[in-house]
Amino acid sequence: TWAFITAMMRQICKQILTIVFVLAVAGIGPVRADPIVTKIVTDPLTGVAIDGFDPVSYFTEAKPQRGSPDYEYYWRGVPWYFVSAANRDVFKRAPEVYAPQHGGYCEMSLARGYLSDGKPQIYAVEKMKLYLFYSAANREAFLIATGEAIEQASANWETLAKGLTGAQPAVPLLSDANH
């Protein structure tokens, strides 16, 4: 039986080498994978924006509410969940108003020149804009120097967003440059 196994292994090795040779001759090289980091922060398991929290609820409720797949809306290539059809419809009319700034990345991390996912439970609403943060300490630092943080984050976002995938344009979601 060892002779049979050895013969089979040789045959498999020959087939593998033949496939590699054919691919090399055909010019088919390694395939480039797309980056897995997107322009909008999503749940890594579900792909839902801001971990399924309803972005409108940040502006209408005492604390953000988890949305439901029953009230889903795709914006910029990503599903967003809402607590009601009314919230979904409000978002549809003006998503830039309710979506977190800079795709939901931590505003202070951006201000410091790097990306880290914002957590939907750690947030601030300033001048009718939603900002998410990686940690409570980042949120506190933001609240101490809000204007400077927003300005620096916006400047850094244009460069950092270039390496991200998704349908979101590489410009900040901020509509008012004067904060």
| SS3 annotation, 7-48 | HHHHHHHHHHHHHHHHHHHHCCCCCCCCCCCECCCECCCCCC
State the pTM of this model: 0.72
Rounded to a whole number of angstroms, the CA Rg of the chain reads: 23
Is there a contact between 49 and 88 (Cβ–Cβ < 8 Å)?
A: no
Those residues with Cβ within 8 angstroms of residue 43's Cβ, 6 or more apart along the chain or in another chain: 51, 52
Distance set, CA 2 to CA 12, 15, 20, 131 (Å): 15, 20, 27, 66
- % of the chain surpassing 90 pLDDT: 61
Which tops the pLDDT comparison, 1 or 66? Answer: 66
- Using pLDDT thresholds of 50, 70 and 90, give the confidence band for residue 13: confident
Report the amino acid identity of residue 29. Answer: G
What is the pLDDT averaged over residues 72-94?
A: 96
- pLDDT tens digit sequence for 109-134: 999 998 999 999 999 999 999 999 99
Q: What is the 3-state secondary structure (H, E, C) of the chain?
A: CHHHHHHHHHHHHHHHHHHHHHHHHHCCCCCCCCCCCECCCECCCCCCEHHHECCCHHHHCCCCCECEEEEEEEECCEEEEECCHHHHHHHHHCHHHHCCHHHHECHHHHHCCCCCECEEEEEEEECCEEEEECCHHHHHHHHHCHHHHHHHHHHHHHHHHHHCECCCCCCCCCCCCCC
The predicted structure's pLDDT at residue 171: 37
Neighbouring C-beta atoms of residue 13, cutoff 10 Å? 10
